[in-house]
Structure 1
Amino acid sequence: MSEFVDMSGNLSAIILFWLWWALLSVLDVISAKNRAGTAGSKDVKECTDRIDPACCERIRRIDPSFDEGYFLQGASRAYEIILEAYAAGSLDTLHTLLESEVLTAFEHAITDRESRGETLELTFIGIRDARIVDAEGAKGGAAISVSFTAEIVIATRSPDGKIVHGDPERVVETRDLWTFGPDPASTNQSWLVTATDSA
């Protein structure tokens, strides 16, 4: 009799363990589907600490399909490319990422530097923080302002190689406020930098 009781107890424990494992498995599947759905969807479900809720709501009203994470990833990559292209004097690259007025300002700065025979050395270390700080309606979508905090190594050399600005051995922090707007010539929701400023 006692053996039967012990066996029943073990059987109950096994059943409970199986039910618990099954529940965890179902929850894991649901979680995986939710993660996959979120990754594949452009619907913003909630704001994160990288965007003010009121700003998030304004963007949603303008563009319900806006994906904050996807946008910030692209904006951060554009920030890095633009800084490196500016240092290298690559106008072809800048032309694809900057709105005409901003492009003109960059062109003038590059021309002035080259007229003095100076070269700009820049090493992009990484972005420490990127967050959306403002948004408003614009032609074709929304104009979104992003605050960047990044680390770079930067130095300007004279024609004879002497350092005239910066330090090639020191990492410095940059704080910039850039505004991105929809590219009117694009059919796939591309963005252009429409304004730059120090944060």
Structure 2
Amino acid sequence: MPGTVNRVLLALVGLVLLAVGGAVLAVGLGVRAPSWWLHDGPHDRLLTAAERTRWRADAWWWPTVIAVLALLVLLALWWLTAVLRRRRLGELLVDTGDGAGALLRGRALEGVLAGEAGRLDGVAHAQVALTGSREAPAARVRLLLEPHVDPATALDHLTARALVHARESAALAKLPAEVRMRGTGHKAQRVS
């Protein structure tokens, strides 16, 4: 969902900027502007001196301008951090029992878990991504099931075998998982 929202917002902002920029460029190159447009020709100013200095003497003007600009900067920073935030877990903290602990690469556990899930009966392909924190990871598992497999049986095998092995090998108290399954099958065809 955040990826979709991000794409829609970027598309809207891009379209607005492209439309306004293209219109200003066209008017600047001499294309006749519609009557409702902000300026009439290439030598017309967007704001007159009176319009630019109209509210400078009012006490609310500068605090409002600064607040709006600060809000825009904060929103842009929030958006940037949301886009750059890592979705996958880089490493896990494994309790070794001696009080020191060890770090396990998230990709390594993802690969082992995906390999074991892919070897289950009836699973054509498996993908795993670890999310959460180093101390409390969670797994997102996607399974591509063959047509003859019962999804409940595949889920039971996944939770009883692959997820238990991953949880025990990483010495985790729990490893919650979100499992999404999709079947490989032939698309329906119209028969006459």
Same fold by TM (over 0.5)?
no
Q: Between Structure 1 and Structure 2, which shows a larger proportion of strand residues?
A: 1
TM-score, length basis structure 1? 0.28
Q: TM-score, normalised by structure 2?
A: 0.29
Q: Which has the higher contact order (CA 8 A, sep 6+)?
A: 1
